Structure 1
Amino acid sequence: MPAIDVVFFDVLGTVVDWRGSITGEVANFLRRHEAHHIDAGAFADAWVGRYDAAAGAVRDDGRPYVTLDVLNRETLDVSLSEVGIAPSGLPARELDELTRAWHRLKPWPDAVAGIAALKKRFIVAPLSDGHTRMLVDMAKFAGLPWDVVLGADLFQAYKPMPQVYSSACGFLDVAPERAMLVAAHGYDLAGARACGLKTAFIQRSNASDPSKACENQSRHDWDFSADDLCDLARRL
């Protein structure tokens, strides 16, 4: 295997606990509005579960690129309406603040130490559907020690569109075969592999998009597989 210079990381689910973090923020929101009859976990899964279809409108249906903040605000309105809460009856600033919960996602316990260990040898950078401001806010909130932040707004595209992986390599002047993507999602790793990148699968519980609950998460199809990021650092 050629030497690796750059390690890219999927973020949502791989580095941070998106479903758990969103559930906590939703629980606080529902409590403030005395919506005690709504299960925060189910609501969070419904909201997160609309993410892929919303991004798919950009990937597959010709919608011009908009940031994840825009998509998440739209799907929040749909999710609220589904449980009988009219978004028009709530202050817009509160809905915007709940949408920004995606900027405050908590890292998995191994994430900071694992990225720091890998940073000693490789350039480390997120390769996420999150836009630059979201990823910068998330890094500051969670203490993620990236060397550089490349947001989806730089590519005007969502994974697994090939230009995301190829453009990221171009920005860092690295040949695809000398770069690797770390992810807990098989579709993302497959997209990276198709563009010539190496792949590393990380096992995460509660990491998948709820709308992709049946996705095959095989540990055996990729160049590396590891229990967490610290384990991956040891293997590399």
Structure 2
Amino acid sequence: MLFDTFGTVVDWRGGIIREVSTFFSRHGIDSDAEQFADDWRQRYQPAMERIRSGERPFVRLDVLHLENLRDSLRNAGIDQGRFTDDELLDLNMAWHRLDPWPDSVEGLNLLRARFLIAPLSNGNISLLTNMAKRAGLPWDCILGAEVVRRYKPDPQCYLDTADVLGLQPAECVMVAAHNDDLAAAAAIGMHTAFVVRPHEHGPSQDQDLEATGPWDFICNDIVELGRLAGSAS
């Protein structure tokens, strides 16, 4: 069982808003933390696309997040000269300190009793490890983009992750709250599980509110997936 993490297992938006709000308050910045968090996240896919397209070599997500943070500060008209490099690096570490959704830890433990579970995330190894330690995520191992040097939804990301485990794609289930992630995994032969996260992007979310493909499992949360997959195994 391979998991997308941002949005599927952890609440990235709530965590980033919290951290940005604290940072702004500490520095006396009168800016909208929610808007800033959304702007920071919106730079995520375009930054990875430059690597997927071959425009730049692979770099880990921490590097992209820091570059995007600086761009978001410029976009918000916030002078970066008022911060030390260490202060910006610490804010960038907010992505390592995200909270799990309320069902995540219980659901992962249910699944781990029967399956090998691991992230198949665009996050880098230290990010996912720190996140797991803080949030209590019981992964059997840490996998994802930095292991295979590719970003989802590059098909090779899924294929190489299965290969690292000594498995065929058909022996894996990709779990995600994002239909496009599952479509990419299904295209190379993985099974699929859709977990509904209707508040990942906040109250105005208008995407991934329901399954749009013939996924093997469609669940309201990871606890439900644990029960369904356990009975089907």
TM value normalised by structure 2: 0.93
Q: Which residue of 1 aligns with 2:60?
A: 67
Q: Deviations over 1:72-113 (max 9, x none)?
A: 100101111111112233111000000011011100000000
Which structure has more RCO (C-alpha within 8 Å, separation ≥ 6)?
A: 1
SS in 1 for 2:142: coil
Q: Which residue of 1 aligns with 2:225?
A: 232
Ranges in structure 2 where 5+ consecutive residues have no aligned partner: none
Q: Which residue of 2 aligns with 1:20?
A: 14
> Is 2:28 the partner of 1:34?
yes
- 1:37-186 equivalences in 2 (<5 Å): 37-186=30-179
SS in 1 for 2:193: strand
Q: Aligned-pair distance for 1:64? A: 0.3
Specify the code of the residue in structure 2 equivalent to 1:25. Answer: E
Q: Aligned-pair distance for 1:60? A: 1.9
Task: State whether residues 124 and 146 of structure 1, in contact with CA within 8 Å, keep that contact through their aligned partners in structure 2.
Answer: yes
**1:218 aligned residue (210, 213, 217):** 210
Matched pairs, number:
227
Displacement over 6 Å in runs of 4+: none
Specify the code of the residue in structure 1 equivalent to 2:7. Answer: G
Task: State whether residues 185 and 208 of structure 1, in contact with CA within 8 Å, keep that contact through their aligned partners in structure 2.
Answer: no
Specify the code of the residue in structure 1 equivalent to 2:191. Answer: K
* Percent identity of equivalent pairs: 45
User: CA RMSD, aligned part only?
Assistant: 1.6
Distance 2:59 2:81 in 1: 22
Ranges in structure 1 where 5+ consecutive residues have no aligned partner: 1-6
Specify the code of the residue in structure 2 equivalent to 1:66. Answer: V
> Is 2:208 the partner of 1:199?
no
Q: Deviations over 1:99-154 (max 9, x none)?
A: 01101110000000000000011100000000111111110010000011113111
Q: Which residue of 2 aligns with 1:9?
A: 3
TM value normalised by structure 1: 0.92
Distance 1:214 1:180 in 2: 26
SS in 1 for 2:86: helix
Specify the code of the residue in structure 2 equivalent to 1:219. Answer: A
